[in-house]
Amino acid sequence: MLTYAAALLLAALLLIPVLWLFVMSVSPAADLTAKPLRRWPETLDLSHYRTLLTWEPNTMDQAFLAAIRNSLVTAGIAVAAALVLAVPAAWAVSRNPRMEWSLYALILTYMLPPVALAVPLYLRLARLGLLNSTLDLALIYLSILAPFTAWLLKSGFDAIAAISRLLCGWTGRGWTRFCAS
């Protein structure tokens, strides 16, 4: 019971600043400067969100929405490419334990300081003409995501292989196609 109380206290401590930021974002300026400070606004003011999410040329709002779009595109490309590369790699390493050294070699790249890779990476991206684009940032993220994703997926695929061996033993190898793989 004490564990649950501690978890609830920790959750409250972590969520209170987020809640306070939200309350400040929907409060009118007069409520934010009033003394004594009002904990909850008398009226909700959504004009800040309306202003921020309106697409008008040559404004900070347009820059914000463009940054959000670039972030979503970059993250989408990096995640999709990481899954395309990591799923077959993790499956192959999971099915062939002799190849596990290759996964350790990928993970060892995390031991290199990022500064040691910055100059060669910059020169390579400059040679390919990919500087200052969402694709170059996605490639950098991919170099971080792919090994880590393969590492995580491998343990999941190991569990699937163990469960399938267990099921095939219980069913008397009734699923010959599934059990043979």
Residue 163 has pLDDT above 80, yes or no: no
* Cα gap 156→160, rounded to integer Å: 6
pLDDT tens digit sequence for 4-30: 999 999 999 999 999 999 988 888 887
DSSP code for 82: H
Domain ranges in the chain are: 1-45, 65-180
- Other CB atoms within 10 Å distance of the CB of residue 52: 13
Tokens matching residue 69: 């779009």
What confidence score (pLDDT) does residue 18 get?
94
Residue 40 clears pLDDT 60, i.e. is over it: yes
> Which CA distances in Å does 4 have to 1, 7, 16?
5, 5, 18
Is residue 108 pLDDT above 60, yes or no? yes
Q: Please indicate, yes or no, whether the overall pTM of this predicted structure exceeds 0.85.
A: no
